[in-house]
């Protein structure tokens, strides 16, 4: 698998507002060199629609890694939203439902879905509010439901958070829901692995988890965030990548994107990462997968 000309990593954000300082986009070229940040079109940061536009105009074959959940848990209950008659049948239908319910929300936000009378029941919200269907009956953990891929991630020593959880610094629920609105617009225009089979040519979008990239680069301990260029360059060296220029501090969004782009370049040719044991046809169709999880 050496057909990609470049590798993009997107550290995404689910925050409200037209522009997000929490979004960072980095590129690593297949022919070598250090990964580089792609500057946002505006000093206040990227708009989510601008990232969408960037992906839609890709010309060179590109492997894109999005740091967000491309779906919600399904396998554990046989449904995304057990007990709700509108529960979609697969990931594509989930994206379409979320986008339709959020039609009045600007900037690819997801407020309309999270405030819907039925949908909101499945999420843990802020200020101590937890939907009555956040946990399955008889759940042994208070963490919330997990996808098969997220359970596989734990074998790598990382702790993913349920996409139904909207609380805390580690939550990815809002970023995942806003990301699904973008995926709905990409569907049919770019291959989205593994919901789409891996094509023989062209660009591919995949889900990544930046903590997996950090683990692959030898970052140990409970925290996987890098906040200095020295630490970032140490990790890049372990991935066989040249260092980025400069010294001093770096924000963790930029560091995550830079490290993940270099990791995608180094890891994409590992066949087993495209064929993890838990990735059945049913899992692929409904929950998707996180590239790098085994």
Q: What is the pLDDT of residues 53-109, one digit of tens each?
A: 999 999 999 999 999 999 999 999 999 999 999 999 999 999 999 999 999 999 999
pTM of the model: 0.97
Quick one: 172 and 190 in the same domain?
no
Residue 80 lies in a domain: no
3-class SS at 151?
helix
Quick one: 28 and 45 in the same domain?
yes
Q: In terms of DSSP H, where are the helices of the chain?
A: 48-56, 91-101, 111-114, 148-153, 173-186, 210-216, 229-238, 252-267, 271-274, 281-286
pLDDT value for 285: 98
Q: Are 55 and 183 in contact (CB under 8 A)?
A: no
Quick one: 102 and 34 in the same domain?
no
Domain boundary residue among 131, 148, 182? 182
**Residue 11, φ and ψ in degrees, nearest 5:** -85, 110
Quick one: 147 and 196 in the same domain?
no
Burial letters 274-286, b for 16+ CB under 10 A, else e: bebeebeeebbbb
Quick one: 173 and 151 in the same domain?
yes
Domain boundary residue among 182, 207, 224? 182
Residue 265 lies in a domain: yes
Cis amide linkage into residue 83, ω under 30° from 0: no
Q: Give the range of the structural domain holding residue 240, as residue numbers without chain letter.
A: 6-70+186-274
Angle at 165 between CA 160 and CA 169, to 5 degrees: 65
Residue 113 lies in a domain: yes
pLDDT value for 288: 98
**Cα gap 115→102, rounded to integer Å:** 10
Q: Which residues of the chain have pLDDT under 70?
A: 1-2
CA 12 to mean position of chain CA atoms: 7
Quick one: 64 and 200 in the same domain?
yes
Quick one: 59 and 25 in the same domain?
yes
Quick one: 160 and 211 in the same domain?
no
C-alpha closest to that of 159 among 222, 226, 253 = 222
Quick one: 191 and 137 in the same domain?
no
**Residue 158, φ and ψ in degrees, nearest 5:** -115, 165
Quick one: 171 and 38 in the same domain?
no
Q: And the tokens for 185? A: 């617009």
Residue 291 lies in a domain: no
Beta strands, E only, the chain: 6-11, 24-29, 36-37, 62-67, 191-192, 204-207
Q: Are 11 and 224 in contact (CB under 8 A)?
A: no
pLDDT value for 169: 80
How many domains in the chain? 2
pLDDT value for 168: 85
Check which CATH number belongs to the domain holding 204 and give it: 3.30.420
Quick one: 209 and 262 in the same domain?
yes
Quick one: 208 and 268 in the same domain?
yes
Residue 116 lies in a domain: yes
Q: Are 13 and 245 in contact (CB under 8 A)?
A: no
- Pairing type for strands 6-11 and 24-29 reads antiparallel
C-alpha closest to that of 284 among 74, 67, 13 = 74
Residue 222 lies in a domain: yes
């Amino acid at each position: 698998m050496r057909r990609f000309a470049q590798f993009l990593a997107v550290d995404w954000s689910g925050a409200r507002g037209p522009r997000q300082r929490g979004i960072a986009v980095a590129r690593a070229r297949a022919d070598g060199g250090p990964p580089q940040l792609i500057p946002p079109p505006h000093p206040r940061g990227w708009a989510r629609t601008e990232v969408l536009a960037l992906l839609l105009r890709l010309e060179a074959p590109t492997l894109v890694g999005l740091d967000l959940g491309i779906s919600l848990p399904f396998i554990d209950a046989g449904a995304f939203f057990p007990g709700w008659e509108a529960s979609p049948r697969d990931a594509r239908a989930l994206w379409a439902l979320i986008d339709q319910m959020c039609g009045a929300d600007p900037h690819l936000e997801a407020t309309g879905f999270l405030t819907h009378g039925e949908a909101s029941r499945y999420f843990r919200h802020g200020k101590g509010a937890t939907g009555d269907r956040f946990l399955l009956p008889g759940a042994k953990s208070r963490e919330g439901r997990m996808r098969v891929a997220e359970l596989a991630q734990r074998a790598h020593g990382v702790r993913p958070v349920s996409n139904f959880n909207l609380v805390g610094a580690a939550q990815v629920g809002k970023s995942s829901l806003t990301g699904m609105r973008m995926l709905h617009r990409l569907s049919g225009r770019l291959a989205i692995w593994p919901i789409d089979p891996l094509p023989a040519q062209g660009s591919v979008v995949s889900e990544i988890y930046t903590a997996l990239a950090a683990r692959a680069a030898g970052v140990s301990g409970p925290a996987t965030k890098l906040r200095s260029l020295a630490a970032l360059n140490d990790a890049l060296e372990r991935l066989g990548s040249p260092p980025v220029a400069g010294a001093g501090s770096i924000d963790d969004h930029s560091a995550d994107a830079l490290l993940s782009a270099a990791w995608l370049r180094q890891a994409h040719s590992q066949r087993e990462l495209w064929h993890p044991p838990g990735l059945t046809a049913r899992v692929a169709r409904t929950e998707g997968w996180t590239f790098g999880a085994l």
